[in-house]
């Protein structure tokens, strides 16, 4: 009789272990599904007419000062470019989407180098003469990550 109880107890432990393994596998699948959905939404929004028009205008713009930036692009277009890419950087930094996948989608290094002149300059809000500095730390972070990877690849190519 004791042997049957031990066998049943062992089977119960095996069932518990199998259930735990199954739960972990399901959570990993759900995580991949969530990442896939987020990346699909990013791609869908990026391909919207509004973003494509802003992107084309942004790429054609050639500015060296904040004033030139706001002459060639509207404030809304500059903020749209900076905010969107900053949010993508935040998603990658929080590991909600894979960093490699996001870095492969956009040239954050170019975008940040271009926007930095405008993004780092304080300006007056409304007519209240209150100055604030719009910072985009996640865009700056992801551009830095992309730069590190590019330089590492260049070093590897030189060494090979």
User: Is pLDDT larger for residue 134 or for residue 15?
Assistant: 15
Query: What is the reported pLDDT for 44?
Result: 80
C-alpha to C-alpha distance for 16 and 13, rounded to whole angstroms? 5
Element housing 55 (H / E): helix 49-60
Looking up tokens 């998603």, which residue turns up? 91
pLDDT at 59 over 70: yes
pTM of the model: 0.70
C-alpha to C-alpha distance for 66 and 123, rounded to whole angstroms? 9
User: Is pLDDT larger for residue 19 or for residue 145?
Assistant: 145
CA distances (Å), 120 to each of 61, 116, 117, 132, 135, in order? 18, 6, 6, 10, 7
Q: How confident is the model at residue 127 (pLDDT cuts 50, 70, 90)?
A: low
C-alpha to C-alpha distance for 112 and 120, rounded to whole angstroms? 11
């Amino acid at each position: 009789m004791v042997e049957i109880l031990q066998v049943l107890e062992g089977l119960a432990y095996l069932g518990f272990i199998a259930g735990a393994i199954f739960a972990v596998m399901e959570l990993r699948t759900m995580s991949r599904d969530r990442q896939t959905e987020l990346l699909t939404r990013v791609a869908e929004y990026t391909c919207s007419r509004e973003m494509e028009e802003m992107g084309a205008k942004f790429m054609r713009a050639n500015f060296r000062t904040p004033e030139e930036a706001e002459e060639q692009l509207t404030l809304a277009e500059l903020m749209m470019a900076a905010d969107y890419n900053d949010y993508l950087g935040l998603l990658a930094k929080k590991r909600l989407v894979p960093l490699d996948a996001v870095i492969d989608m956009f040239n954050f290094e170019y975008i940040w180098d271009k926007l930095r002149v405008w993004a780092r300059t304080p300006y007056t809000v409304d007519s209240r003469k209150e100055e604030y500095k719009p910072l985009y730390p996640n865009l700056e972070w992801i551009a830095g990550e992309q730069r590190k990877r590019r330089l590492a690849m260049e070093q590897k190519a030189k060494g090979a």
